[in-house]
Structure 1
Amino acid sequence: MPTKAPEDRYDAAPFVPEDAGLDVLRRAAAECRGCPLHRAATRTVFGTGSTEARVMLVGEQPGDQEDRQGRPFVGPAGKLLDRALAEAGIDPSGAYVTNAVKHFKFTQAEPGKRRIHKAPSLREMTACGPWLAAELALVEPELIVILGATAGKALLGSSFRVSQVRGTVLEEEIHGRPERLVPTVHPSAVLRADDRESA
């Protein structure tokens, strides 16, 4: 049976340098070919913030604006997230913000038309897991805020349902480390809701 070409593998681990600092990880992630999502994405969107952050916010994947700018949560969902953090008394600049998947997955009817977000598969989330594990090991946050179902599935497995555990504190082992996590909806889900204030 023929072996798969490297670009058909779903594993970012060979691209993740061991014991690297944040800048080295970010540069290495830009060269990641651990799954096919890198092909259509404009750029890799790696996490931002201080490695001293007490809170790590983990979103799903970059959106259109994030893909274009190369930073997480810079679009409308990011503005809402900053507002929510400020209302909770958390300085957004003091948090580490990242996504479970580092490339934008989308559909596009025609070239030049709007790119529509498409949820990454479990295989794509799992492939990107080594990047998130490396970020967690560097930051060692006191609390991980899970933003949405994709982030929850990437961290806690395919049976995760944000509607069942939203707002609760979970204590789980993630990538070999005990972690405290609080799941909630993704800010983009709030933006799509009919009643944004109650969402």
Structure 2
Amino acid sequence: MPSTEAPIGAQQFVPPDAHELAELKAAAAHCEGCELYRDATQTVFGRGAADARIVFVGEQPGDVEDQQGLPFVGPAGRLLRDAVDDAGLDASDVYITNAVKHFRFELRGKRRIHQSPGPAHITACRPWLVSEFALLKPDMIIVLGATAAKALLGPSFRVTRSRGQLMPWPAAAHHPEDFPVTETQALATIHPSAVLRADDRDAAYKGLVDDLKVAAAALS
């Protein structure tokens, strides 16, 4: 049965004076801001360059990520790396994270089946994203899929309708008051896992790459 208790949120676990991403990652390992920490193997925090110009935000870690403790190391992550290369983005200039840092799943036999995070999980985990952005100050935020879009761009945002379009940040943010004013831009596209599930995978992959090319052109 899913928990009915209201998450306390991550804010009390976020170090207020963190100066490095490593400090945030160490603190996040002990986060109990929502009930997902109870069943997940570990917190899966972001990874990548501390001075990254590009931040990718996905949904949540999957089964492989939960076991390894790193985001986007499963099949979707490999596909994303290919798409980054094919779009002409510099992989060394990337930081990648998720809107929710713990794996939400249901057990079917011995298999752990992915479940999308709910609004309460997104809200509870939001302080980690805010803290990551505050340290990174990227030039481009690339939002991957519907859950990340709800977390950052609001519940009414539809990736299928507005994908591949540059948006000013933080003006486009769901809670712009959480973010310092910068010249950052944002762009939403499909999650790479949607490419893996697509009936026409080639067409879906091309669409993802085309969206990322918009970001690459804006950064060049």
TM range, smaller chain: over 0.9
Unaligned runs of 5+ in 2: 205-220
Question: 2-side partners of 1:183 and 1:171: how far apart?
Answer: 12
TM-score (norm 2): 0.84
Aligned partner (choices 191, 198, 207) of residue 193 of structure 1: 198
Match of 1:177 in 2: 180
- Percent identity reads 55
The alpha-carbon deviation at position 171 of structure 1 amounts to 1.5
Q: How many residues align?
A: 191
1:2-41 correspondence to structure 2 within 5 Å: 9-20=7-18, 21-41=20-40
Aligned partner (choices 98, 112, 131) of residue 115 of structure 1: 112
User: Which amino acid is the alignment partner of residue 185 of structure 1?
Assistant: I
Match of 1:99 in 2: 98
Question: 2-side partners of 1:172 and 1:52: how far apart?
Answer: 18
Whose helix fraction is larger, Structure 1's or Structure 2's? 2
Q: Does 1:162 align with 2:159?
A: yes
The alpha-carbon deviation at position 8 of structure 1 amounts to 5.1
Question: 1-side partners of 2:127 and 2:195: how far apart?
Answer: 29
The alpha-carbon deviation at position 107 of structure 1 amounts to 0.9
The alpha-carbon deviation at position 98 of structure 1 amounts to 0.3
CA contact (8 A) 2:6 2:120 kept: no
Question: 2-side partners of 1:146 and 1:11: how far apart?
Answer: 22
Q: Does 1:141 align with 2:138?
A: yes
The alpha-carbon deviation at position 68 of structure 1 amounts to 0.4
1:1-80 correspondence to structure 2 within 5 Å: 9-20=7-18, 21-80=20-79
User: Which amino acid is the alignment partner of residue 31 of structure 1?
Assistant: H
Q: Which moved more, 1:47-56 or 1:87-96?
A: 87-96
Question: 2-side partners of 1:92 and 1:65: how far apart?
Answer: 21
User: Which amino acid is the alignment partner of residue 50 of structure 2?
Assistant: T
User: Which amino acid is the alignment partner of residue 189 of structure 1?
Assistant: A
CA contact (8 A) 1:10 1:124 kept: no
RMSD over aligned Cα, in angstroms? 1.3
Unaligned runs of 5+ in 1: 1-6
TM-score (norm 1): 0.92
Aligned to 2:125, what secondary structure does the other structure show? helix
CA contact (8 A) 1:148 1:186 kept: yes
User: Which amino acid is the alignment partner of residue 139 of structure 1?
Assistant: L
